[in-house]
Amino acid sequence: MKTALVVGASGLIGKHLTHKLLASQYYNKVTIIVRKKLDIEHQKLEQIVMDFDNLDASKIVADDIFCCLGTTMKQAGSKDAFYKVDFTYPLNFAKAGLANGTKQFLIITAMGADERSWIYYNRVKGEIEKALSDLRFPTLIILRPSMLAGERENPRMGEKIGKIVMDFFAPLIPDNYKVIAGQKVAQDMLELAQKGIKNKDIFESGSLQKF
C-alpha cells in the first residue's frame, strides 16, 4: 500500500482522480493540497489547506504525487499569473516531494507542449516538462491530453464550442486531437501509476484514448 498526494484536486481531472484514489486498493492514504477545504470526506483522506505562494515543503510527503494544476490565460488574467500556476507551482511541489522521498511524479500538461513553441501556452507546458525532467525523479509520467470534456466548476466556453465542432468532425480528426473526457484522463493517471514505469515516459492524447 502506498500514499498519494494530489495538487489541483478541485479541477476537472483532479476531482475525478481524488475520488478514484480514495476508492483504490493501492493507496491507504490520500492527501490533497488545497487553497480552501473541499467538500469531501473519507477515512483515507487528509486535506491540507496551504498558501501556494508560501509552500510548507515539510507537508509535501507521499510515495506518488499527482499534479493536476492548470489554468488558461483568460482565467489567470496575465502571462505572469498563468506562468505561476502552470510552471512555478508544479515545480515547487515537485522539488519538495523529491526532497521528501517521493518516488513517482505524474503531471497533466497538454498536447503541443514544446519549450520552443511560439505559442505561449504550449511553451510554458514544454518548459515545465523540461524542468521536471531535469529533477530526475525515479519515475516521471507526463500525460498530454487534447481538449478535455467534462463538467468544470468554472466552465470554459472555448472548450464547449470546441467540443461541439470536434465531435462533428470526429471521424476526420487524428486520435491525438480528439476530445477526451477528464474522467478518462484521471483513470489513466491512476492506472499508469501502477505500471512500474521507470525514468520518464510521455503519453500523448492518442495513446490515452486507446489505453
**Displacement of CA 157 from its chain's centroid (Å):** 21
- Annotated catalytic residue within 44, 83, 95, 121: 121
Q: Which three cell numbers stand for residue 169?
A: 468532425
CA distance 50 to 69: 14
State the pairing for strand pair 64-67/2-7: parallel
Measure the CA dihedral 175/176/177/180, to 10°.
Answer: 80
Total Cβ atoms within 10 A of residue 103? 14
Query: Which entry of 15, 27, 89, 125 is annotated as an active-site residue?
Result: 125
Answer yes or no: 121 catalytic.
yes
Phi first, then psi, for residue 20 (nearest 5°) are -70, -40
What span, in angstroms and rounded, lies between the C-alpha atoms of 14 and 34?
11
Indicate if 125 belongs to the active site.
yes
Total residues belonging to the chain: 211
Go through 107-124 and write b for each residue having 16 or more CB atoms within 10 A of its CB, e for each that does not: bbbbbbbeeeeeeebbbb
| Residues labelled as active-site residues | 121, 125
